[in-house]
Amino acid sequence: MSDTTSPADSPTASPAVSPVAAPRPHPARQQLGQPDPQLVPTLHSIDVSPFLDLMLGIARERTIDGILRLTKRTYRGKHVIFGGLWIVASQRITGTSEHSKPGADRKLRLMAYSGMGKPRPSLWRHPDGTYDLVPFTDPILGPSTAGEPTFAASADEWERPYWAVEHGYHAYSAFPIMHKDELLGVMAVFYDRPMTGEQADMLLMHRKMHKIYADSLAAALANAAAFEEIHALRRELELENEHLRRAVRTAHADDHIVGNSAALNKVMEQIEVVAPTDATVLILGESGTGKELLAEAIHTRSHRRTGPLVRVNCSAIPHELFESEFFGHVKGSFTGAVRDRAGRFLMADGGTLFMDEVGEIPLELQGKLLRVLQEGTFEPIGDDRARKVDVRIIAATNRDLAADVDAGLFRQDLYFRLSVFPIRNPPLRERLDDIPVLAHHFIANAARRLNVPEPKLHYRHIQQLQTYDWPGNVRELQNVIERALIMSHSGRLDFSQPETGSPISPGLPAAPAATAPSGTLPAADTAIFTDAQMDELQRENTLRALTASNWRVQGAGGAAELLGIPPTTLQSRIRKFGLKKPR
């Protein structure tokens, strides 16, 4: 209510607030000292619609900030030079509790003010400071903290401080803001002249209306504080529910790291070293190698294991939603923001944030991400309040980030910040010794999930699996195992491809070759090509497909579709031949 010094006397109402035009008073009444009724303003002689609109607006408002904005526009009463709203300093409403600690003097914090004069409350001083923060012992506002209004109709009725004399404040009224016997604050208005004589009736009417407004303001502030508390609790519950859902999904996932090869053992040794620290980890590896499992292993071995592990796949987020996904937004900050949303950083507070495919983060967002990594603070979209979080970052990528830095696609400072402790997750072709145990693991899980008998894995099956180069890595192996289990007959595994019936064989892609249109096949030739020549032909053919598709790897019209191979196989060839998109 700080800017609502005199809601009854808004600009539209001020002409009506002044005495009503009428004939000169009767001489007899003047001799008796009685005021002429025609000169006494009443509720029937003024336009109270602005006051009623204000009351309705306050009743509808659900936020403390909104209530304060409304009050800043309402101190416009006749002869009112200044009005202010002081709130008891507390965590509940003002957001500060440093002045309400046990044993400390209680204070009133100025939250809103306005007036027709030149209000400068930060320059008005009392023995303990300025009127931005007023102790309960202040002789002007302090008496109202006991729960009763106080007023002075002229300069003779109060000991005016120097600022009141300097700015021409002759009278004032102060009203407690009480809700269920709890003091929330004090509202005060100051007048530019003595409110005595003919002005006494106006002061009396103002006092009545201000008392009504103060009571309404108390209820509105209490309700707004309750609404904000409910909103905060609801947001905490949403975060907790999300964490619980993720924990349940994690508990039922096949998330165990399986294998005992030298390459995998080296990785696990690195995890054991870095997990107890809070160092940022960058997991490097091809698609399908199980980088998410390594991130989970780091989290579960750290002191943050009781906190949340929040996962986000950066390649699956539309670019325009990246900032909202990571940092959240407040209601109304943009079209479609119908409610507040907690970003991934806030969800991961006290735990670990795993950012998969970190190389896909837009360049324009990388600077804000770097700030969070360095300072631990960020602002949600539409909110100017900084949020501080305690989050450990684990990033993963299948891209060559160093090359992206050279190409200007990734910030160098962010790359250095993420790669504090890099871990290379080896591809499956470097873990051939792990294929038997991985195959047994996937067969057992798939048979249980599909509710089919578990077939036997023979030595010939192991040989067949170990002679394939696995461009899709562990993920491809899991899919091949599950497909073979579905196609198995009489408990016999069949690793043939369902499209062609051909078995998985060394060095060949696990996908059907493209069928060329009739009449486009090259003529038979008796020439014999060396392996090097075949590689060069395959490299040239791959490059042509990438150029024709504008370097689109997958999807309709992509290079993989043109070549008739899976996208994972094409990505393996791109790495094999060192192909890079020209700038």
Q: Flag whether 274 is in a domain.
A: yes
C-alpha pair distances (Å), 75 with each of 16, 17, 79: 16, 14, 11
- Domain check: are 378 and 471 in the same one? no
Average pLDDT (294-306) is 92
Domain boundary among 425, 447, 479: 425
Number of domains in the chain: 4
More confident residue, 458 or 48: 458
Give the pLDDT confidence score for residue 118 in this predicted structure. 62
d(CA 128, CA 122): 13
Residue type, 87: I
Residue 149 shares a structural domain with residue 272: no
Average pLDDT over residues 76-104: 65
The helix (run of H) or strand (run of E) holding residue 239 is helix 200-251
Give me the numbers of helices (H) and strands (E) for the chain, helices first please.
Answer: 19, 15
User: Rounded mean pLDDT of 352-364?
Assistant: 90
- Say yes or no: 273 and 412 in one domain: yes
CATH number assigned to the domain comprising residue 76:
3.30.450.40
What is the number of other CB atoms lying within 10 angstroms of the CB of residue 229?
Answer: 11
* 572 against 307, higher pLDDT: 307
Mean pLDDT for the stretch of residues 42-46: 51
Percentage, residues of the chain above pLDDT 70 = 76
For the cut 90, the answer to whether the pLDDT of residue 298 exceeds it is: yes
Question: For the whole prediction, is pTM greater than 0.85?
Answer: no
Please, which residues have CB within 8 angstroms of residue 251's CB and are 6 or more apart in sequence? Answer: none
- Average pLDDT of 369-375? 88
Query: Contact 154/197 with Cβ under 8 angstroms?
Result: no
Q: Are residues 195 and 293 in the same domain?
A: no
Confirm whether 234 is domain-assigned: no
Q: Is the pLDDT of residue 45 over 80?
A: no
Q: Summarize pLDDT for 482-512 with one digit per residue, the tens.
A: 888 887 766 677 776 544 444 454 333 333 3
Same domain, 66 and 43: yes
| pLDDT value of residue 336 | 64
pLDDT of the residue at 261: 87
- Helix/strand/coil (H/E/C) assignment for every residue in 121-187: CCCCEECCEECCEEECCCCCCHHHHHCCCEEECCHHHCCCCHHHHHCCCCEEEEEEEEECCEEEEEE
Q: Contact at 8 Å (CB) between 343 and 325?
A: yes
Assess whether pLDDT exceeds 70 at residue 125: yes
Residue 245 lies in a domain: no
Quickly state the pLDDT bin for 367 (edges 50, 70, 90). confident
Higher pLDDT, 521 or 268: 268
The reply to whether 113 falls in a domain is: yes
User: Which of 97 and 175 is assigned the larger pLDDT?
Assistant: 175
Q: Tokens 């369902």 map to which residue?
A: 498
Q: What letter represents residue 286's amino acid? A: E
Does the residue 243 lie in any domain?
Answer: no
**Gap between the Cα atoms of 534 and 180, Å rounded:** 88
Q: How confident is the model at residue 104 (pLDDT cuts 50, 70, 90)?
A: low
- Residue 520 confidence (pLDDT) above 80: no
**Stronger pLDDT, 130 or 281, i.e. the higher one:** 281
Q: Considering the domain boundaries, does residue 101 fall inside one?
A: yes
Residue 45 inside a domain? The answer is: yes
Confidence of residue 68 (pLDDT cuts 50, 70, 90): confident
Mean pLDDT value of segment 293-315: 91
Confidence of residue 294 (pLDDT cuts 50, 70, 90): very high
Assign residue 485 the CATH number of its domain.
1.10.8.60
pLDDT tens for each residue of 562-572: 888 888 788 88
pLDDT band at 94 (very low <50, low <70, confident <90, very high): low
* Average pLDDT, integer, range 246-255: 45
Residues 265 and 399 in one domain: yes
Best-predicted range by mean pLDDT among 191-200, 287-296, 559-568, 569-578? 287-296
Tokens 């009463």, residue? 77
401: exposed, middle or buried (Cβ count in 10 Å: 0-12, 13-18, 19+): buried
Q: Give yes or no: residues 161 and 178 share one domain.
A: yes
Amino acid, res. 70:
L
Q: In the numeric block, which tokens belong to residue 269?
A: 């040794």
For residue 132, the model assigns a pLDDT of 81
Q: For the residues 551-568, what does the mean pLDDT come to?
A: 80
pLDDT at 106: 81
Q: Residue 242: its pLDDT value, please?
A: 62
Regarding predicted confidence, which is higher, 302 or 500? Answer: 302
Backbone angle region of 350, left / alpha / beta, with phi > 0 → left and psi within -120 to 50 → alpha: left
State the DSSP code for 210: H
Give how far Cα 203 sits from Cα of 197, 199, 324, 503, 531, Å: 10, 6, 52, 98, 103
Arithmetic mean of pLDDT, 191-219: 83
Same domain, 262 and 307: yes
> Which of residues 255 and 536 earns the better pLDDT score?
536
pLDDT at 87: 85
Q: Which span out of 413-427, 439-453, 539-553, 556-570 was modeled with the highest average pLDDT? A: 413-427
pLDDT of res. 255 = 46
76, HSE (Cβ side, Cα atoms, 13 Å)? 14
Residues 388, 456, single domain; the answer is: no
Sheet bearing 150-152, strands edge to edge: 133-135, 107-114, 80-88, 182-191, 171-179, 150-152
d(CA 46, CA 50): 11
Smallest CA-to-CA distance from 494 within 546, 485, 568 is with 485
Phi and psi for 344 in degrees, rounded to 5? -65, -35
- Is the pLDDT confidence value at 349 over 80? yes
Query: pLDDT at residue 554 above 70?
Result: yes
CB 465 within 8 A of CB 495: yes
Asked if 331 and 200 sit in the same domain, the reply is: no
Distance CA 194, CA 203 (A): 10
Residue 228 is assigned to a structural domain of this protein: no
- Mean pLDDT over all residues of the chain? 76
- For residue 414, the domain's CATH number is 3.40.50.300
Burial class (CB in 10 A: 0-12, 13-18, 19+), 155: middle
* pLDDT band, residue 36 (cuts 50/70/90): very low
Phi and psi torsions of 572, nearest 5°? -65, -40
For 162, 242, 294, the CA distances from 236, given in Å and listed in that order, are 49, 10, 29
Cβ neighbourhood burial of 516 (10 Å; 0-12, 13-18, 19+): exposed
Same domain, yes or no: 491 and 550:
no
Q: Which residue range is the domain that position 553 belongs to?
A: 531-577
Q: Identify the pLDDT of residue 284.
A: 94
**Per-residue pLDDT at 395:** 95
Mean pLDDT of 91-111: 62
Q: What is the pLDDT of residue 393?
A: 94
Same domain, 460 and 558: no
Residue 516 has pLDDT above 70, yes or no: no
First to last CA, the chain: 60
Which residues neighbour 572 within 8 Å (Cβ) at sequence distance 6 or greater?
Answer: 286, 469, 471
